């Protein structure tokens, strides 16, 4: 006799983890998009993916939330813009 199939559940983010996670670039609070499985930084206009319930907090892995516009994140240690 076979066991009944159970639907796979998407991993969910722990609320305590969501409260302490901030954007690694600007230290802003992040918004959790449950449907897209992303953490969104509105200040830097970046969305960090969540893979298998684990947030990937690398700027290289984040996607731009505003198409066609590349946002240069501000370095929290040295906020001066780079010299041209």
Q: Could you tell me which CATH number the domain at 31-68 has?
A: 2.20.25.10
pLDDT band at 83; cut points 50, 70, 90: low
Please give the average per-residue pLDDT across 8-34, as a whole number: 85
- Asked whether the predicted pLDDT for residue 78 surpasses 70, the reply is no
Q: What is the pLDDT of residue 27?
A: 95
Q: What is the pLDDT of residue 15?
A: 84
**Tens digits of residue pLDDT in 45-73:** 999 999 998 999 999 999 999 876 555 65
CB 65 within 8 A of CB 73: no
CB 24 within 8 A of CB 42: no
- Asked whether the predicted pLDDT for residue 8 surpasses 70, the reply is no
Write the DSSP string, 24-58: TTT--B-EEETTTTEEEETTTTEEEEEETTEE---
Give the pTM: 0.68
């Amino acid at each position: 006799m076979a066991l009944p199939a159970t639907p796979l559940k998407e991993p969910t983010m722990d609320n305590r983890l969501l409260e302490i996670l901030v954007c690694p670039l600007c230290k802003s609070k992040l918004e959790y998009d449950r449907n897209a499985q992303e953490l969104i930084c509105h200040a830097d206009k970046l969305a960090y993916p969540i893979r298998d319930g684990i947030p990937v907090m690398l700027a290289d892995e984040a996607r731009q939330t505003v198409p066609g516009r590349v946002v240069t994140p501000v370095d929290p240690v040295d906020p001066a813009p780079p010299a041209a």
